[in-house]
């Protein structure tokens, strides 16, 4: 093939195809020369093995030289039951231990107790608290009285849920509107 006998358009096509082939060869040699080209092209990708077991050396605990040398224990088994009973009594709150006598209190403790009102303790405190709570219930505010006067306090206003459910189901079954504000929905289907 002689380039002198070709027209300008055919020369242009010849050079384009020649350049494409040359570029392809150049880049294939360039990629092939890389050591990790197989990873670039993803030709030899090996998936990770989920079942591979990695063996590791066992842990070694360093020696502790602060421990006392082994020897005869000092009847710790007998004392442990007594200690357990004491701890258990402390947790439960042994009443004998929790009662503070007047001899254990200092002068500052007495002053603090007098100012807090502990000295005038009332043995019937539960009755006092119950009477205070009942007074609060009896002393209703204006709003509660207004609501009672408008609504009423009779048991007739309280609905029985079982009877109300039956009434609603009967109204739905008969086709009545069980809610006064609800309008019936009429679905009309087109005949084909």
Q: Give the pLDDT score at 161.
A: 84
Could you tell me the two tokens for 113? 């107790």
Q: Is residue 69 part of a domain?
A: no
Q: Which domain holds residue 102?
A: 81-121
Do residues 85 and 111 both lie within one domain? yes
Q: Is residue 98 part of a domain?
A: yes
DSSP symbol at 73: -
Strands (E), 47-120: none
Q: Give the pLDDT score at 147.
A: 76
Q: Give the pLDDT score at 114.
A: 77
Q: What is the DSSP string of 73-95?
A: --SHHHHHHHHHHHHHHHHHT-H
Q: Give the pLDDT score at 9.
A: 81
The total domain count for the chain is 3
Q: Is residue 126 part of a domain?
A: yes
Q: Is residue 60 part of a domain?
A: no
User: Phi then psi for 87, rounded to 5 degrees?
Assistant: -65, -40
Nearest in space to 119 (alpha carbons), one of 127, 110, 107, 128: 110
- How many Å apart are CA 81 and CA 86, to the nearest integer? 9
Do residues 117 and 98 both lie within one domain? yes
Using the structure block, give the residue that is written with the tokens 């998936």: 47
Q: Is residue 129 part of a domain?
A: yes
Using the structure block, give the residue that is written with the tokens 């402390």: 90
Q: Is residue 165 part of a domain?
A: no
Q: Is residue 31 part of a domain?
A: yes
Do residues 107 and 131 both lie within one domain? no
Q: Is residue 160 part of a domain?
A: no
Do residues 89 and 112 both lie within one domain? yes
Do residues 88 and 113 both lie within one domain? yes
pLDDT averaged per 10 residues in sequence order, the chain, 192 residues:
72 85 87 63 70 83 72 58 64 52 72 72 74 67 75 66 85 69 69 71
């Amino acid at each position: 093939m002689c380039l002198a006998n070709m027209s300008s358009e055919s020369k242009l096509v010849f050079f384009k195809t020649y350049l494409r082939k040359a570029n392809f060869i150049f880049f294939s040699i360039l990629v092939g020369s890389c050591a990790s080209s197989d990873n670039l092209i993803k030709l030899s990708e090996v998936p990770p093995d989920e079942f591979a077991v990695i063996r590791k050396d066992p842990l070694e605990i360093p020696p502790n030289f602060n421990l006392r040398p082994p020897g005869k224990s000092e009847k710790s088994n007998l004392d442990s039951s007594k200690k357990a009973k004491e701890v258990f009594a402390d947790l439960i709150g042994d009443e004998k231990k929790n009662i503070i006598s007047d001899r254990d209190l200092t002068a500052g403790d007495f002053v603090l107790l007098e100012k807090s009102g502990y000295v005038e303790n009332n043995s019937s405190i539960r009755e006092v608290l119950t009477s205070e709570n009942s007074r609060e219930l009896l002393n209703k505010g204006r709003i509660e009285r207004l609501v009672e006067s408008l609504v009423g306090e009779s048991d007739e206003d309280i609905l029985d849920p079982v009877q109300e459910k039956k009434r609603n189901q009967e109204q739905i079954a008969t086709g009545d509107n069980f809610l006064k504000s609800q309008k019936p929905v009429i679905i009309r289907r087109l005949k084909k």
